[in-house]
Amino acid sequence: MRIWLAVVRRDLLLASRRRSDMANTLAFFIVVVSLVPLGVGPEPALLRTITPGMVWIAALLAAMLSLSRLFADDHADGTLDQLLLGREPLVLIVAAKATAHWLLTGLPLTLLALPLGVVFDLDGGSCATLVASLLLGTPALSLIGAVGAALTLGLRGGGVLVSLLVLPLTVPVLIFGAGAVETYAGGLSPQAHLLLLTGLSVAAAALAPWAIAAALRISVE
């Protein structure tokens, strides 16, 4: 836990010195969600129907923006080489970096979804379900995205490759996340969808750090 907390604290401190990166992610999320009504029209019933999927897609795309820099800065200044050569378990270190990524992207996007849901006329229960689905599902996005970031580390055009690798793998998270709100709006319990999101995040937490560590070793070599 000491190593894990030290890495998380370090990444959060570095991010606090580059606040523009997080601001760009949040601004992108807001802009994408705000532009959709301009394309589909201002009909309230239609907006209430598409808001869950729209918010989830915007959150997924916003999370992709910061993935290319998840390991790139440490790779550029040699920190990553020291971490690979150190005695501390690399699996624990990459898990901590994925946690920091979620704290900087997934958590703010989750909190920001609440006022956006109110703006698009979602009722209180739908807003709560949307926030709960994002809270349970976005950790899986960070962990799966970290695998793609590790595989494309050092490659030219790595940001595009990350998207191509990660987006297909996040489809189940997207389906269950948006489906939870749609199920609640239809008068049914969203518990099954939320449990599936929890299972996906737990499975990603158990398996993704090993894949990230292996991918980093391959990329660096």
User: Distance between CA atoms of 24 and 69, rounded to whole angstroms?
Assistant: 13
pLDDT at 80: 79
User: Distance between CA atoms of 163 and 148, rounded to whole angstroms?
Assistant: 8
Q: Which long-range contacts (CB under 8 A, 24 or more apart) does 119-124 make?
A: 120/37, 120/47, 120/48, 120/51, 121/44, 121/47, 121/48, 122/48, 122/51, 122/181
Burial class (CB in 10 A: 0-12, 13-18, 19+), 63: buried
User: Distance between CA atoms of 54 and 57, rounded to whole angstroms?
Assistant: 5
Whole-prediction pTM: 0.88
pLDDT at 78: 77
User: Distance between CA atoms of 195 and 22, rounded to whole angstroms?
Assistant: 29
User: Distance between CA atoms of 176 and 109, rounded to whole angstroms?
Assistant: 17
Mean pLDDT per segment of 10 residues, for the chain of length 221 residues?
85 83 86 83 80 89 82 78 80 90 91 86 87 93 89 71 83 91 88 94 93 85 70
Q: Side-chain half-sphere of 185: how many Cα atoms within 13 Å?
A: 20
pLDDT at 38: 80
Q: How open is the CA angle 194-101-215, to the nearest 5 degrees?
A: 100
pLDDT at 71: 81
Q: Side-chain half-sphere of 12: how many Cα atoms within 13 Å?
A: 12
